[in-house]
Amino acid sequence: MESKNIKILAIGNSFSVDSMEYLYQILKDGNYDNVILGNLYIGGCCLETHYHNIINNNKDYIYYLNKTGTWEEYPFFSILDALTSENWDIITMQQCSGKSGLSNTFQPYVNELIDYVRKYNKEAKLFWNMTWAYHFYSTHEEFINYEFNQIIMYQAIINTVNEMIITNKSFEGIIPVGTAIQNVRTFVNDDLITRDGFHLSDLGRFIASLTWFKTLTRLDLNKINYHPEFIKTDLFNNIKKAVDAAYNNPFEITNL
């Protein structure tokens, strides 16, 4: 059987940390032999900050690297350092959570970031990580942008991605984590999805990572057996259905 390799870099923040937590293990279970995952992290980092960091080549990121199943941490990284460290197959971008549904915060920063990435990697496929709405009772200070309402926030994210990302031909696609999370919320208590009202719990992280796997590989989730021990078989099977539904209908909630 031909060896399958994949190298994925996220230009992100804590929400990309959450999204990629279990991605290595899922990819290995999906018969990827050589997996390299990178994540550029600044807590709460928005597109505008990424833009200023490329302009000044700021080494303000913690670079998380996973080549063995364990995340290693390297401080004082720039976006350029990460872009040139590997010949990436896939590079993801995202807005910070509080601005993820505010379309006026996306440009010119998205296009500037794309142009910068393309200087150093002309071949990588670009994907947008569509993040999730907060817990219904989240105390996040930016929840006020969405009237402290989860569904209003989710719809704002959907509308913004349609307006600002789907229309951008540079992106290969979107990773509909926000919709996968909402789908699971139809059958799992919201308290179990996040750990602090906005960052994902381990359960939420697994849902996000499985959504990344499905979107980036397009492989059949029925062939994936890996899941953390705390996720029982019935729940695992329902999560796979929720992720498949998000993949097939990324802009609407599917009740399961």
Confidence (pLDDT) at 3: 66
253 lies in some domain: no
Total domain count, the chain: 1
pLDDT band at 245 (very low <50, low <70, confident <90, very high): very high
CATH code of residue 18 = 3.40.50.1110
157 lies in some domain: yes
Which residues, in sequence order, are bridge partners of residue 37?
Answer: 8, 66
**Using the 8-state DSSP alphabet, how is residue 117 labeled?**
H
254 lies in some domain: no
Give the global pTM: 0.97
255 lies in some domain: no
240 lies in some domain: yes
pLDDT above 70 for 215: yes
Helix axes 233-248, 202-217, angle to 10 degrees: 50
Full domain range(s) for residue 36: 5-248
pLDDT in tens, 40-95: 999 999 999 999 999 999 999 999 999 999 999 999 999 999 999 999 999 999 99
pLDDT above 60 for 1: no
Q: How far is CA 126 from CA 11, 90, 170, in A?
A: 11, 6, 7
